[in-house]
Structure 1
Amino acid sequence: MTNLVYTLCGLTSLLCAFLLLRSFRRTRHAVLRWSGLCFVGLTVSNFVLIIDKIILPDVDLLTYRLWLTEISLLLLVYGLLSSRE
């Protein structure tokens, strides 16, 4: 059951990234670009979680997942602060 939840979270973040970046391409609003990049990073983090917990359960990738998530959220914060319109 947890494998399904991990996979669905990864696919959901991938869908969000796709929709945000597609909308950015049409409208050129900077906040959509930064939000899309944040979700790209969260997608990578989710797929590293799948690798960590399902594919390679003996390897601890927690540090890498946390760094990926932190960088992704910093992109979002930067985008929110820099694109005040």
Structure 2
Amino acid sequence: MAFTIYTLCALTSLACAVLLLASYRRTRHRLLFWSGWSFVAMTVNNLFLVLDKIVFPDPDVNLLPVRLIAALVSMLLLLYGLIYEKE
């Protein structure tokens, strides 16, 4: 059950990233660019979550630091786009 939920979260993040970046290609609004790349990083974060919890459930393998870095990068990309990009 957890594998299904984690996978659906990763696919949803990927779908959002694809849609945002496709919209950026059409309109060239910079906020769509930063939002799209933020969702790419969220997708990577979700993939690491699947790896950490499902593929490598062994307590010796801990991908939490990598997941936190991916989440930080995602939020920093979105924050940069929200603060510095002007219409």
Counterpart of 2:31 in structure 1 is 31
Counterpart of 1:12 in structure 2 is 12
Tell me the amino acid that sits aligned with residue 81 of structure 1.
I
Offset from partner CA, 1:27-68 (integer Å, 9 cap, x none): 000000000000000000000100111111111101110110
Q: Unaligned regions of 5+ residues in structure 1, if any?
A: none
Q: Secondary structure at the match of 1:84?
A: coil
Normalising by structure 1, what TM-score?
0.97
TM alignment of 1:42-81, pairs within 5 A: 42-58=42-58, 59-81=61-83
Normalising by structure 2, what TM-score?
0.95
Aligned length: 85
Tell me the amino acid that sits aligned with residue 29 of structure 2.
H
Runs of 4 or more consecutive aligned structure 1 residues displaced over 3 Å after TM superposition:
none
Between the aligned residues of both structures, percent identity stands at: 56
Report the Cα distance in structure 1 between the residues aligned to 2:80 and 2:6, rounded to whole angstroms. Answer: 27
CA RMSD of aligned residues (A): 0.6
Q: Unaligned regions of 5+ residues in structure 2, if any?
A: none
